Each structure stands twice: as C-alpha cells, then as structure tokens.
Amino acid sequence: MFGDRFFSSRQRLIDIIVGVRSLGEECGTDVSALADEGEFLKELNRPFLFMACGEVNAGKSTLLNGLFGEEICQSDALPNTKKIEYIRSNQSDESEKIHSTFFVEKQTPFAALNQFHLIDTPGTNLLNDEHHEIIEGFLPSVDLLLIVFAASNPWCADTWQLVSKLPEDTLKNSAFVLQQCDLKHPEDIEVILGHMQNLAQQKIGFSPRFFPVSGKMALEVKGIQPPPIHLLNKSGLPSLESFISSLLGKKMDRQEVMQLVHDSTLKTLDRIEKQIESRRYSLNDDQRFLAELENEVDLRREQQANQLAIKLSGLGDVFLQQAAKSWDLLSRRLSVFHSLISLFQRERLPTQIERGLSEAVQEAIKERSGIDGANLATNCRDHWETVAPRIAENLAVSVPDFDKETESLKGTRERFVQRLGRSAKQAVAQLKIRNILELQMERRRTVLRRLMNVILILLSAAGITGGLELATWPFALLGVAAGVTLLAITYSTFSRQRICEEFQEQIKDLQQVFSESLEDDYRDGVHEFYIEYGGLFAIVRRRIASQRHLLKPRLKRWNDLFLELKAVGQEI
C-alpha cells in the first residue's frame, strides 16, 4: 500500500505522544500541548486528499477503486459521475449530503478512507463553470491530483486544457495516468506514451512521467489474497503506488507538521525529565529527612540506655526494700520460742523467706516497671509532637494520630511489665537465698539440738538421783541443767542476731547482682518500645518506597520514549 512509510512514522509518533502524555500525567507535568484537540495534532491526523480528473469514461472511478482495492467509487460503462463527489470515511453507515447541484459529500464505511479522502469529478468534457470553481477551490488542499487519460483517447482536448491551466504547485503534486491499458497492445501503449510526452511538452512545457495502468485489473487482482505479484505488476499499479508513496513522503506541509509535533513532544519530554529529576532529588531529601527522624529515635533510645545504670540502681533499691521485710520475718522466726518449736518439726523458714521475697520483689518490680513503661510512652509522645509538624511540612502528607496508631504501645508496656516481673522472680531464685539460710540455720539448730539433749539428759539424771534419794545430786544436776539452759538461750539470742546481720550483708551484696540480672530484659524492653514507636514512621518509609518504586520504571519509560522519538526524528 502506498504511503506505508509515512503512515508508519506517523503512527510511531502518535504512539510516542500517547506514551509521553501518559508519563507526563503520572509525573504531574503539563502535557496540554499534546492534547488530542491540539491544532497541530489535528493537522497531523488530517487525511490525504486525492482528486481524479479526466474525460468521461476515462476510468477515474475505476482507478481510485484499483488504488484502494475496494469498490469505493461507483463505476460503469456509462458516465455516472455528473457531480463532484467528496468521499470520506464514516464508521457507522453510508450517508450523502448534497451541498449544491454540482457538489455532493458522501460518507462510506471503508477503512482506507480513514487515511485518505477522495474527490471524484465528472468528465472534463462535461465540466461547467460551477464545476471549475469547485475544483479550483479544492486544488490548494489536494495532496495528489490524478490526471487520467483513457488509452482509447489520450488526446482529449478538454483534459489537456484543464492541465494547461493548473498552477505549478499542483502539477508537482500530480500523477499522469494512462488508464485502461489492458485494452491496448503493449507496443501501442509505448507509442501512445511517446505522443503524450510530446503533447505535454507543448501544453505545460515539460514531459512528466506517465503511468500506464489498468485500474480494473488492479481491483480484480487485489481481490485475491494474497494478490499475485505478476498480475499486479501487469496492471501497472506498483509503479504508480511507488510514485505516490514518494510524493506523499516529500509533502513539505506534512513534514513540517511532523517536525512541529516531534519538537513539541521533545520539549514535553524535557519537562518530564526535569520533573523526574526533581522527584529524585526530592526523594533523596525525603530519605535524609527520614534518616534524621530515625537518628533522633536512636538518640532517645541511647539516652535511655545511658540512664540504665540509674534505672537498675532503682530496681536494686526495690529489691533491698522488699528484702528488709524478710529480715523482720527472719528475726521473728529465730526467737527462742520459735527456735524451740523448730527443733521438733521440719524447718520451712528459708523456703518461706525466699518465696515471699520472690513474690514481693516481682510485684514491686512490676509496679516500678509499669511507671517506667508509662514514662517511655510519654517520652515517645513528646517526641512525636515535635516530629508530626515536620512530617506534614516536609512530605505534605496526613500525619497519623499518635493514640490511634500506637495502640500497640499499651501491649508493649504490658509485655515490658511482665518481662521484668518474670526476670525479677528468676533473679531472686538464682541468688539461692534459701540455700544460704538453710546452711546457717542448720548449724544453729544442730548446736541448739545438742544443748537440748544435754538439758534433757541432766533433767533425767536429776530425776533418777532424786528417786534414789541421793541427797545433793538432784539439786546439783538441776543447777547444771539450768546453766545449760541459760547457755542455750544466750546462744540462740546471739546466733539469731548474727544470722540476721549476715543475711542483711548478703542481701546488700546481692543487690548489684540482682540489678545486673535484669539489665538485658530491661534493655530489650526499652528497645521494643522504640521499635513499636518507630512504626509510626512507616508512613514516611512507605511514601519513599512507593515513589522510588515508581521512579525507576518511569526513568526507563522516559528513556525508551526518548530513543523512539529520536529514531522517528531521523525518519522525518
């Protein structure tokens, strides 16, 4: 099909425009210059206008049908065209609009007419002044004028008279066709062409190229799919189509429009590139802003870590305060009366002290960590109140509500409390307080048990000697028993004091160990707080990630469109 190269380049340019427009809209660039309703885009898509002139029954309509391979124009052995017919495409159905007695506009659903509009004229020997006026009005817009001569009468005076009056520019856009060549012998065609060139030299001052064609044969051959090449060559149409393609490709007005569209598209691409670069720089700024926010969070976490020694010291004080209650219990349970009773039953005091201390410390640590957790949440809130306005200003996004978005901080605080409570209970168990007390109290009980045995033996001996009526022995033995009893009471009192003092010293020594055993859990709990708080910055991360995700394919699309546009520019 003639004009394929031009239409291919034009379609590539249109496809590029669609791509550039889509990319520009995504990037927020003004692409109004590439709107479909733009004047130069309308001009770019303007169909070519072909006009056929020649005498009655020269085969003008048949030639047009042969060129397009379809029965677009009515043709018959009798002259049918008495009016100038302007034929254009209509995708729905056929219609006809009569403008005057001598001019009619027809719309017909032929796909070829999307790119070409046709003007079929009456025979030159039937033209009147009105016909001539209409034809002359169209000539400046005609892209190709087909001057058709019948092989049976190529010397039609009316046709040559019309040709001799044509402007020079129109002659440059004209194709001289010798139609119905299938009716003549090839040797006769050669003779006729020679005479016509001589006649043209006389009429218009130069000898144009004449194309011997059989439009009827061309139409029949194009009706076969695929068209036989040898029959198509025999119709003479390929040479005419090649000439038309060359002529259309050199149309300066079309080239100028193509160049105008190309340049405007290139300028739009330049603006899009600047927009993409600006977006890239902006994303880098956003990334730096996010880094600043994260550094602030890290700094606050480090500040909490630096205060860890103070926090742990406070937790050690809690341990010491609860241990003081154990000292009172230990002192009461080591009294003479309780010590005497403990000699006759299993001693459970160390276990009770350790269990009581463990539970008391756990509850006290949970209470203290609850306060610390509340302080951490307040610290995060205070920081967010300074960050939120900056996020809104720098990123122009809706800032999330702290309370709504940090519901998880309540759970984090609860986990923080439970974590330290469990850790405190385990820490007390690892101190092995029960073992220390059991060892000290077992030694004391052993001594007291032995003294009790001596007292019982002495009392028994006093009873026996009294029964035997030995005069002084019972009193002597009772006196010794009383002395041993006084010794036991004295030992019980002093050992009680010593155990309590040693227990206090050991507890004080274990205070630091207890605090250090909570360090990792306390640090992890604080870290988890700030991880949860850092989730608020996900809006910044998501925005940057989504924009970066879009930026790379947009850059690739821009590069592809730019290279494609450059290639089309070289074709233009």
Q: How confident is the model at residue 401 (pLDDT cuts 50, 70, 90)?
A: confident
At 471, the pLDDT band (50, 70, 90 cuts) reads low
Q: What is the CATH number of domain 48-250?
A: 3.40.50.300
Question: Helix or strand or coil: residue 68?
Answer: helix
More confident residue, 180 or 294: 180
pLDDT at 37: 66
Q: Which residue has the higher pLDDT, 409 or 474?
A: 474
- Please state the three-class secondary structure of 474-520 as a single string: HHHHHHHHHHHHHHHHHHHHHHHHHHHHHHHHHHHHHHHHHHHHCHH
pLDDT score of 357 more than 70: yes
**With bands split at pLDDT 50, 70 and 90, how would you rate the model's confidence at 309?**
low
pLDDT above 80 for 338:
no
**Stretch 261-283: mean pLDDT:** 88
- Mean predicted confidence (pLDDT) in 88-105: 85
Q: Is the pLDDT of residue 386 over 90?
A: no
Q: How far is CA 3 from the centre of its chain?
A: 42
* Diameter over CA atoms, the chain: 185
User: 390 pLDDT exceeds 90?
Assistant: no
Kindly state the average pLDDT of the residues 452-465: 86
Band (pLDDT 50/70/90 cuts) for residue 455 is confident
Are 213 and 237 within 8 A, CB to CB?
yes
Per-residue confidence (pLDDT) for residue 79, from 0 to 100: 53
How many residues can be counted in the chain? 572
Across-strand partners of 548? none
pLDDT above 90 for 118? yes
137: confidence class by pLDDT, cuts 50, 70, 90 = very high
Q: What average pLDDT score do residues 73-79 get? A: 65
Domain boundaries, the chain: 48-250, 307-445+509-517
Question: Quick one: average pLDDT of 407-413?
Answer: 75
Q: Amino acid letter at 500? A: C
Of the listed ranges 208-217, 418-427, 480-489, 540-549, the least confidently predicted one is 540-549
**Quick one: pLDDT band at residue 31, thresholds 50, 70, 90?**
confident
pLDDT confidence of residue 80: 54
Out of 56-65, 74-83, 413-422, the most confident range is: 56-65
pTM of the model: 0.62
- pLDDT at position 305: 66
Instruction: Indicate the pLDDT class of residue 76, thresholds 50, 70 and 90.
Output: low
Mean pLDDT score of the chain: 85
Instruction: State how beta strands 144-150 and 174-179 pair.
Output: parallel
Give the mean model confidence (pLDDT) for residues 314-333: 79
How far is 32 from 40, CA to CA, in rounded Å? 12
| pLDDT, position 77 | 47
**Does residue 488 register a pLDDT over 60?**
yes
* Cα 106 to chain centroid, rounded: 51
Q: What is the mean pLDDT of residues 76-105?
A: 80
Residue 10 CA to residue 19 CA, distance in Å, equals 14
Of 121-135, 216-230, 337-351, which gets the smallest average pLDDT? Answer: 337-351
Element (H, E) at 557: helix 538-571
Q: Give me the percent of the chain exceeding a pLDDT of 70.
A: 95
Q: Is 408's pLDDT higher than 70?
A: no
pLDDT computed for residue 426 by the predictor: 86
Give the C-alpha distances (Å, rounded to integers) separating 37 from 40, 43, 354, 381. Answer: 9, 10, 89, 54
The percent of residues above 90 in pLDDT, for the chain, comes to 26
